[in-house]
Every structure is written in structure tokens, then in C-alpha cells.
Structure 1
Amino acid sequence: MLGLRAKGQNVKSQEIVSKSCSLFQDVSCYDIFKDFSGPIIAVLIAFFSIRFAFAQLDKQHQNTLDAQKEESKRNTKIELFKDINLLLDNVSSIVREVNTFCLARQHPAPGTPIELSQTDYEAFSAKLNHGLLAVISKVESHEIINQKLFKAFRYSLEAIVYDISDLRFSDDRRLVLDSMHELGSDASCYLYDFQICMQNLAYGDVFDHKLSARVPVDKTLKVITADSDSLDALLNHFSNETNWGKSWKSYENEAKEKCS
């Protein structure tokens, strides 16, 4: 009895296996793939679509941040230009006053002395140096915007301030007159150069246009531009070839000797 029951179970097992095998034999791999390909492709499309969407959002976010950063930099340059321009206008008016006075004394009306008195020198030098030092301080505190340009401009004005102050030791009143006029003219040129550079920095991208640098007739005269090589040459000139630069180097060397 037990043998017959076991035999019956074996027959059923064989039938199940046989039916299972016949099921897979009747269905090809293509049919299986065809049945499941739709859902699989849909899942893959959804996955990559979501991933692409997040990538696009990240890119748009970064582009927005970059645009905001550039806008902030542009606005900073514009605001700085406005602040500095007020100082430049102020000192430019002082320079014009000094130059006009000196020019009138160099080509005087009958009876007018061809010299700059000590009293006139002290008044004009104090006024001019005060205006130049205000510009120097402002430029130095914002040097990070364009280090070479701002430093070259600052050095040019510091060299002028030094030479103006040094004239107080001269007894040659005509020499003082001519020197004050020359230094005032140099200051006027450098102020103009820097205004051109600042306009290009602040508004060049906004108006898609840049102003040309000053072109002096006398090619030996210095011109401040935003060109990197020219700025290197100017920094070298003001640091090593002017009275201010030489004096500063001497002071620096003396300080190093004392500390060594």
C-alpha cells in the first residue's frame, strides 16, 4: 500500500516537472523580454529623467550663483568708481587751481613776480597733498579689485606727494614754481588715466565698449593703463627710479640692518 502511494507521488512530481519544462519550452527568451521590456524601459527612463532633472537644477542653481556673483562684483566696481570719482573730481579741481596759478606766474603780467613765494607754496602744497593723500588712502583700501593697477596709481601719487613736500627745502623760488607746475601736470595726467581705467572696469562690460588710454605727444611721459606688462614697468619705475621710491628703499634697507 505504501509502495503504491509513493509510486503515485513520483508520477505526480514527474508530471509537474514535465509541465514546467514544457512551459519554458513553449515560450522563447524574446517573448519573455518582450513582456518585461516595457516596464523595465519605463523604470530606466524615469530614473534617468529624474537624474537629468536634478542635474539641470544643479546647473541652473550654479549658473544663478555665478550670475549673482558677477552682478555683485560689477555693482561693487560701479559703487567704488562713484566714490573714488568724487575724490578724483575734488583733487582735480585743486590741481587745476595750482596749475592755473603757476602758469600765470610763469607767464606773468607786468609787475607780477615770476616765482612762487613760500607762503603760496605752503598753502598750495598743503591743499594739494591733502587731496592726493585722500585718493591714495581710498585706492589702497580697495587694492584687491585690481592690485597692479591700483598700486601703480597709488605709487604715482605718492611719488608726487614726496616731491611736492621736498620742495620746502629749496630756496630757488623759480625752481619751486616750475616744479609745482610740472608735478601738478603729472598729477592731472595720472588722475585722468585712472579715471579711464576705472570707467572701463566699471562700465566696459555694461556698455560693451572701452575707452582708449591717453597718448602723450612726448613718449617719455608715463601713462597708467590696465595692461599688465605696462603696469609692471610702471611699478618698477615708481619703486626704483623716483625720489620717493629711492627714499623708501633706503629707509627699508636701514630698517633691515637695524633688525638684523
Structure 2
Amino acid sequence: MTRDFFPSLATLVVAFFSIRFAVLHIKEQHQNALNLQAEARKKDIQIELFKEIQERLDHCGSIAFELSNSLIFKITYLENGLNINHDEAEFANHIKTVLESITQITIFIEYREIVSPKLFRVTRSALHSSHYELLETLKDRSINLVERYKMASKAAGDVASYCHDLNACLQNHAFGDLFNNQAPIRKPIDPNEKVIIDDDKELDRLLQYFEHETRYGKMMDETNRDVIEIFTREQEKTT
């Protein structure tokens, strides 16, 4: 009796594991298909994002570079004892144009930060820092013209550089694996100049720098402390 029953039991066990294996295999195939779809969708988003932001980055980088270079020429003239006709309204208008372009980019990437949170946050902070320096140059007329030009030229040059850096990072996101290549990293002559690269550790260092060590970062820290202090005092009054 037992002998007659045993083959049936063995058959059931084999059938059970065969069915289980088939089900697991189907689930694995389904998950792989979902993963491929997700990767394809992610790639489509990266390419579309690059297309949408490239024109903004090119425009901002171009006008910032143009402003920086024109000021370098004026600085050279002034430092060599030559006079130039300084038009404050024209100077302010050129800076304002760059400021508006910076704002367009920072708003654009802020609304899409989920695509690359740390990279976009660092880029926003870097551009905000340069925005702050340009604005301070306009406001502070107590310093001499050469120093104002130098401050504005440096800030505008940084804007152009950060636009270039983000463009390179987004190129690599969108097309790096397709062409099995990487856009080159900017290599400034000045080793102290900041370069935005899509590396976690470097992005952490840059975030610390832009948000806490620049004039913009220190101003924001002070503002945040003041807000917290006011809020705490108001809370104490109600308790």
C-alpha cells in the first residue's frame, strides 16, 4: 500500500516545485520587464530635461561670459591709467539681464529637483551665491570702480562656469551610456575655483561651501537664526 502511494506523493512534490519554479520565473520576467520600462522612462525624462534646460543654460552662460569679458577689458584700461565712460544705467542693465536668467534656471531646476536632488540643490546654491554677489555689486557704490568691475566680472564668470558644469552633468545623465562616453569636466586654472561634478562626496563639500561659507550662505544662516529666534520668542509669549 505504501509502495503504491509513494510514487504519487513524489509526483505531487515534483509537480509542486515545478509549478513554484514556473511562477517565480514568470514573476521574475515580469519584474525585469517593469525594470526595463522604468529605466526607459527614466532615460526619456533625462533626455527631455536636457532638451528643455539646454537653451536656458546656453543663454545664461553666454550673457554672463560676455559681461565678465567686457568688464575684464574695462579693468585693464583703468589699471593702465586709461579713462573709460562708465554708464551706471548700462552697467545695471547688463547685470539685471544676467540676474533674470539665473532666476529662470534656478526656478526651473527647483521644480524638477526629484530628477537629481543633490546635483540640482548644489547648482541652485551656487547660482544663488553668484546672484547675491552681482546684486551686492550693484548696491555698493562706496567701493572704487575697478573693484566693482572685478567683483561683477568674477561673479558673472562663475555663473557661466556653473551653467557649463550643469550642462556637462546632464549630458552624461542623458547620453553617457548611449555613447559610452562622458562630457569632460571643467578644469580651471585657479585650483580654488569651484567645479560642480556629479559625485556624492564632492557635492556634499560644495553644498557646505555654497550654503555656509560664501557671503550668500552666511547671510542665509544669519537670516535663518533670526527667524528661529523671533519664532521662539513668539512661542514663549503664548505659553
Residue 28 (structure 2) pairs with residue 59 (structure 1) = yes
Alignment TM-score, normalising by the size of structure 1:
0.79
Query: Which residue, 91, 98, 103 being the options, matches 1:133?
Result: 103
- TM-score normalised to the size of structure 2? 0.85
Structure 1 residue identity aligned to 2:74: R
Question: Using the alignment, how far apart are the partners of 1:116 and 1:189 within structure 2?
Answer: 26
State the 1:151 CA deviation. Answer: 0.8
Q: Which amino acid aligns with 1:258?
A: I
Q: Which amino acid aligns with 1:75?
A: D
Structure 2 counterpart of 1:200, one-letter code: N
Number of the residue aligned with 2:231: 259
1:32-73 CA distance string (max 9 Å, x none): 55x984x66665554443333222211111110111111111
Q: Report SS of the residue matched to 1:199.
A: helix
Q: Which moved more, 1:143-152 or 1:98-107?
A: 98-107
Q: What are the residue-to-residue correspondences of 1:83-98 with 2, within 5 Å?
A: 83-98=52-67
Pairwise CA distance, 1:158: 0.2
- Output one character per residue of 1:211-253: Cα deviation in whole Å (capped at 9) or x when no partner: 3322222211111111111111111111122111111111111
Is residue 127 of structure 2 the alignment partner of residue 157 of structure 1? yes
Distance in 2, matches of 1:116 and 1:145, equals 44
Q: How big is each residue's C-alpha offset from its partner over 1:14-40, in whole Å with a ceiling of 9 and x where there is no partner?
A: xxxxxxxxxx9xxxx7xx55x984x66
Q: CA deviation at 1:142?
A: 1.4
CA distance in 1, matches of 2:122, 2:226: 24
Say if 1:103 and 1:181, in contact at 8 Å, map to a contact too.
Answer: yes
**Contact between 1:136 and 1:157, CA under 8 Å: does it hold in 2?**
yes
Q: Is this contact kept in 1: 2:64–2:98, CA < 8 A?
A: yes
Alignment of 1:104-143 (within 5 A): 104-108=73-77, 113-114=83-84, 116-143=86-113
Aligned to 1:206: 178
Instruction: Report if the CA contact (8 A) 1:152-1:235 is conserved.
Output: yes
Correspondence for 2:39:
70
Q: Which amino acid aligns with 1:54?
A: V
Q: CA RMSD in A?
A: 2.6
Instruction: Call closer, same or farther: CA 1:254–1:36 in 2, change over 3 Å.
Output: closer
Closer, same or farther: CA 121–60 of 1 in aligned 2, 3 Å:
same
Which of 220, 237, 241 is the equivalent residue of 2:213? 241
Provide the residue aligned with 1:10 in structure 2: none
Contact 2:113 2:120 in 1 (8 A): yes
RCO comparison, higher one (Cα < 8 Å, 6+):
2
Superposition deviation, residue 92 in structure 1: 1.6
Report the 3-state secondary structure (helix = DSSP H, G, I; strand = E; otherwise coil) of the residue aligned with 1:86: helix
Of 175, 178, 189 in structure 2, the residue corresponding to residue 217 of structure 1 is 189
CA 259–146 in structure 1, closer or farther in 2 if over 3 Å, else same: same
Q: Kindly indicate whether residue 31 of structure 2 is the aligned counterpart of residue 50 of structure 1.
A: no
The superposition leaves residues 105-159 of structure 1 with CA deviations (integer Å, 9 ceiling, x where unpaired) of: 2344999744753112211111000001101111111112222211111101000
**C-alpha distance in 2, partners of 1:231/1:107?**
35
Corresponding residue to 2:114 among 144, 147, 167: 144
Q: Which residue of 1 aligns with 2:49?
A: 80
User: Alpha-carbon deviation of 1:101?
Assistant: 2.4
CA distance in 2, matches of 1:116, 1:242: 29
> Which 5+ residue runs of structure 1 have no aligned equivalent?
1-23
Greater displacement, 71-80 / 153-162? 71-80
Letter in 2 for 1:83: E
Q: Where does structure 2 lack aligned partners over 5 or more consecutive residues?
A: 233-239
Q: Secondary structure at the match of 1:68?
A: helix
Q: Percent identity?
A: 29
